[in-house]
Chain A
């Protein structure tokens, strides 16, 4: 009995902590089906599907969500391109000042968002750049680039250089080698980086808050509504975000598992296949 406990108490604690981490999501999902008793109440009152059938109670909230998606897409494209180029330079080329570049990429990830947000605001004000949609895009690209570099770099570094040599040996020019071998092999890393960038951008509040002027993104909308009462539809958006992300993760892990299972099945299949040379 003591042994049994000793072996399992860690897992027990771990599951309790996971429950603590999961509780708010469950609550958000539950509240998305709630008809609150009053505008300022956060308690569960009555079950309804209305929030899901009418996810945008106001034009303002719909615009905020649309704007967040627009900003997220633009920031994702720019930061993915910039970050991927940097990752290639870092992994594939020698150059002077590598330490400086590494520092430049690492620092934004280690700096509090508050400091990045306020400093960018200070710059925009000093340069008299009007705050709005594009200043938000600039800010989001800035903090997404580093994460893209790190993600793509990991994928690139894990790639066997000999595959590119083999392609060149097999009559592929530099461009063909990149197009046919390098890019397809790095693509999963680039896609992962883009998804990460989008989710960082879509969810950012602190930096956006300082650099948005009067432009309202979805997090800004939630922040503004927190004081005067959050419409329950906010929880619909939150639940939908969660479901979409979960689907993406599930699909990619399923794909990975299928590939692994195929690899495991191979030796078994080989037994029944044409006899190998002997």
Chain B
């Protein structure tokens, strides 16, 4: 039985999965430290679920290893692995009541006395007294908790969660995010959480890996990913970004110099992923401030001019589009804090930012400026 194996980190080594000619997971290597809450974030079809299924044993890797501690479990059948899964839309057994659903794993391992454990687990997920109901009699949020209890009761070394909150409405989802985080802290098991929802990944996980086309684009703490993205994909997938196409033009002290659209800018070397050739100069919309003219730009900030081309009032903030002289649009969020009036469409403005909030990314030659559209969340997150 898997339990006796010395505990350890979950490591994926050169993991690859091909379906015919399609490569779902491409030479993936990463280490998930024991006890961490790890999120695999990506749009649908990026290979995140396939990765999860290979860890669970529901999919066989084409090549590569799945290591738990020192042990390669890639060839083991699912029921031989100390790994359990909370399935997308839960997969609760409809013919068994909640008690038997939760007891299922214990019984399969020949454990006779299960009642106490099941009761304890149901109280952990706050479902005391629901043992005799059938899954169809529970609400979505309750079913979600049963699925969690059913997996956790087995004390797996790793708990896999496949879009566990995808079927819940927004409010319940927020509730369950907090709940899941609490439970993970309480039981101390490694959680690997697959999701397409960046906000969900960022609120819950210690470490987030952003996946794209079967590979990991960037891996790190949520704040690091957001503040200093490694690629244009991450910059756009995680929140929104204004990316100006430019050329790196050498160093000046601790700064990297950039020319873009005829103007010169600089970025601290510590925030540059590239320091020569074609680059993107990136600024998050909330870090971009709008003022009436260059004379109002604070010292040390960099700026460029433009005209307000669109303004959307969304309550907590107003989201502006600023058309630059060269025709692309930048987005800027202004908090509705009561300071400063609203800017009507057509107003000439100066957009400025602190260079310590900007970042430099490598850019393929020929790629133009990129601005996320005016939406609350990136559109990729809306569908799975």
A-side residues, CB < 8 A to B, are: 160, 162-163, 165-173, 176, 180-181, 184-185, 259, 262-263, 265-267, 269-270, 273-278
Contact = CB atoms under 8 A, between A and B. Distances in A.
A169 to B, nearest CB: 5
B56 interface: yes
B104 A167 contact: yes
22 contacts: A162-B87, A163-B91, A163-B94, A165-B87, A169-B79, A169-B83, A169-B84, A170-B104, A170-B150, A172-B79, A172-B104, A173-B108, A185-B94, A259-B134, A262-B134, A262-B136, A269-B137, A273-B129, A274-B128, A274-B129, A276-B126, A277-B175
Contacts of A278: 175
Given A162-B91, A167-B93, A274-B128, 10 more contacts: A163-B94, A165-B87, A167-B108, A168-B58, A168-B77, A169-B58, A169-B78, A170-B150, A173-B108, A270-B138
B78 A160 contact: no
A274 B134 CA distance: 17
Contacts of B77: 168, 173
Nearest to B102: A170
A278 B88 CA distance: 22
B108 A163 contact: no
A162 to B, nearest CB: 4
A168 to B, nearest CB: 4
A165 B142 contact: no
B141 A169 contact: no
Given A171-B154, A273-B129, A165 B58 contact: yes
Interface string B96-117: 0000000011001100000000
Given A166-B85, A170-B104, A171-B109, A270 B142 contact: yes
B79 A160 contact: no
Contacts of A265: 137
Contacts of A171: 79, 105, 108-109, 154
A266 B138 contact: yes
B270 to A, nearest CB: 42
Given A166-B87, A262-B137, A184 B126 contact: no
A125 to B, nearest CB: 49
Nearest to B95: A184
Interface string B130-153: 100110111101100100001100
Contacts of B109: 171
A274 B123 CA distance: 10
A191 B142 CA distance: 32
Contacts of B87: 162, 165-166, 169
A169 B78 CA distance: 5
Given A165-B78, A166-B87, A263 B137 contact: yes
Interface of B: 56-58, 77-79, 83-85, 87-89, 91-95, 104-105, 108-109, 125-130, 133-134, 136-139, 141-142, 145, 150-151, 154, 175-176, 179
Contact of A267 (B92, B128, B139): B139
Contacts, number: 102
Contacts of A167: 93, 104, 108
A277 B93 CA distance: 23
A269 B134 CA distance: 13
Nearest to B160: A169
A127 B119 CA distance: 67
B108 A270 contact: no
A173 B136 CA distance: 26
Contact of B139 (A160, A166, A181, A266): A266
A17 B89 CA distance: 45
Nearest to B77: A168
Most B CB contacts (10 A, CB to CB) among A165, A166, A269 go to: A166
A171 B84 CA distance: 9
Nearest to A163: B91
B126 A277 contact: yes
Most A CB contacts (10 A, CB to CB) among B89, B95, B134, B139 go to: B95
Contact of B108 (A162, A172, A184): A172
A276 B178 CA distance: 13
Contacts of B150: 170
B142 A276 contact: yes
B91 A160 contact: yes
Most B CB contacts (10 A, CB to CB) among A170, A269, A274 go to: A170
B154 A170 contact: yes
A180 B87 CA distance: 18
A162 B52 CA distance: 14
A116 B109 CA distance: 52
Contacts of B137: 262-263, 265-266, 269
A169 B139 contact: no
A172 to B, nearest CB: 5
A31 B202 CA distance: 77
A156 B88 CA distance: 20
Contacts of B175: 277-278
The 9 closest A-B CB pairs, nearest first, are: A266-B137, A170-B105, A162-B91, A166-B91, A171-B108, A168-B78, A263-B136, A171-B79, A172-B108
Given A171-B105, A173-B79, A266 B154 contact: no
Contacts of A267: 139
Given A162-B91, A276-B142, A277-B126, A170 B136 contact: no
A180 B103 CA distance: 13
A277 B126 CA distance: 7
Nearest to B127: A274
A163 B90 CA distance: 9
Contacts of B179: 277
B20 to A, nearest CB: 14
B121 to A, nearest CB: 13
